[in-house]
Structure 1
Amino acid sequence: MTVETIAVGQEDHPCDGRAAGFRDNLSGYEICATTPDRSPELWHRYLAGARMAYRHFGNEQALEYDAVVDGASTTLFFAATDPSGEVVGGLRVQGPYTWVSEVSSLTPWIGRPGAADLGLMMARRIPRGVVESRALWVARDVPHRDELAAAISRCMAHAPHLLNARYGFATVASFTADRHRASGAVVAQAIPPVPYPDERYRTVPIWWDTRTYRVFADKLQYLLMRGELRAMGLAEPRSRRSIRPLRHGGEERRAYGR
């Protein structure tokens, strides 16, 4: 796994030399990218926080806690910690996927408009590498919460870089889409949203393409992402970000998320 070979910075980093990490320059929180096997104690603290956050909003079933607690389905996870070491946010990552049938987050679209198109979208990308971010949460009432939420969104863009995949994928509440767009995500607008995990939400599929996300990211978020990738020992491919061509790798910009 790529994350095992990434050089880590300072010795007092919460990752404790086991994986990759960076400090978010805006919120001040440390963010560690590691695995459940390498960092089991951090994994369980991240998952406990996720369970509490999901329970607060009455959608704990979406976390699938019992199915994921052993860490077997999680390839990588990000955990944000405050100066005292408390976990205040994070997400977990699945993949790279081999088959569309592995992507359980497509289930809410079964029998609904857009199901076939979304399955085809996934099938086209899997040969080039797809990883999925899930169980994203940020603690309530922490200082600089908005900045931390933006940093966690950037981690969704970092995940495919760390796992040698081209694409990042997630299904998110529509009201969070602008935050993810700022980090280069594109909403699959051709796919109608679904009421998941219940009628209070409109969930939409979003994509990051490691070859083109920089074209769509906000300037500040892009600059932060470049620094974070360097901190994790990853060199971003050269690009001319100022040019916004209509086509990227044979796909039209307007169809990027299709």
Structure 2
Amino acid sequence: MTVETIAVGLEDPCRGRTAGFRDNASGYEICVTTPHRSPELWRKYLNGARESYRHFGNESALEYDTVRDGSSTALFFAATDAAGEVVGGVRVQGPYTWVSDAASLTPWAGRPGASELSLMMARRIPHGVVESRAAWVARDAPRRHDLAAAISRCMAHAPHLLDARYGFATVASFTTDRHRASGGVVAQLIAPVPYPDERYRTLPIWWDIRTYRIFADKLQYLLMRGELRAMGLAEPRTRRSDRPFGHGGEECYAYGR
């Protein structure tokens, strides 16, 4: 289901722009749209991301000049406050056609786990892979922790919106608990890399729309169900063959083979 499809009749929550939902934990409105449909919102989201990344000295990871025209972004989520200011968000690329489309695998080149990670991507691409990038939350946003959790749930929603089975992201190690709470599964046997610099340990993480509910925290899962309904989406049914054999077997380099 595409953003254009879900936008019909769902304009009010996002002030006339496109579809979205209200985060019941943080109170912010979260819009899902495209750079083409909402250029001003895209500008605000991207400028906020640049300010956030610049504050932490890792602006290069944003690739601002490369992505600013919006052509590489299939959709993006933007959280807005009561004044309409963007206080957080995440953009999404894909679905991918080739492993080489996933430029975020480059930091593993020549390092342990590179071939395994490429194989994981190659095995999933026929089923649909989308990637979340440039996630951020304003440092001074009230209820910042709750909003960060909502942005992680958006990363889990992305494959639903783009007719893909898998969501993917490379994330800093200190954020993995938040992503696990939304059903993300870390590829634990892929060694982390120091990216964008030595201060960080970056890990690959996956969401599978057929099994994420098994791993998600109960509260986050309930929030996700309501958000999917607000966007006019239904959860796919989990088949017995889709169920994993346990958390330990899933959180490894072979997850989702």
After TM superposition, give the deviation of residue 236 of structure 1 in Å: 1.1
Query: Corresponding residue for 1:37?
Result: 36
Q: Aligned-residue CA RMSD in angstroms?
A: 2.1
Gaps of 5+ in 2: none
Separation in structure 2 between the aligned mates of residue 107 and residue 201 of structure 1, nearest angstrom: 16
Pair 1:253 & 2:244 matched: no
Q: 1:132 to 1:155 in 2, by over 3 A?
A: same
What SS does the aligned partner of 1:6 have? helix
Deviations 1:9-44 (A, max 9, x none): 66542251x432000001000000000000000000
Separation in structure 2 between the aligned mates of residue 141 and residue 183 of structure 1, nearest angstrom: 23
Deviations 1:115-159 (A, max 9, x none): 000000000000000000000000002110000000000000000
Gaps of 5+ in 1: none
Pair 1:224 & 2:235 matched: no
Q: 1:239 to 1:120 in 2, by over 3 A?
A: closer
Query: Corresponding residue for 2:178?
Result: 179
Deviations 1:178-216 (A, max 9, x none): 000000000000100000000000000000000000000
- What percent of counterpart residues are identical? 81
Amino acid at match of 1:140: R
Query: Corresponding residue for 1:204?
Result: 203
What SS does the aligned partner of 2:124 have? helix
Separation in structure 2 between the aligned mates of residue 223 and residue 207 of structure 1, nearest angstrom: 20
**Is the 1:187–1:257 Cα contact (8 Å) retained in structure 2?**
no
**Is the 2:10–2:20 Cα contact (8 Å) retained in structure 1?**
no
Amino acid at match of 2:235: E
Query: Corresponding residue for 1:13?
Result: 13
How many residues are paired up? 253
Amino acid at match of 2:236: P
Query: Corresponding residue for 1:70?
Result: 69
What SS does the aligned partner of 2:159 have? helix
With normalisation by structure 2, the TM-score equals: 0.93
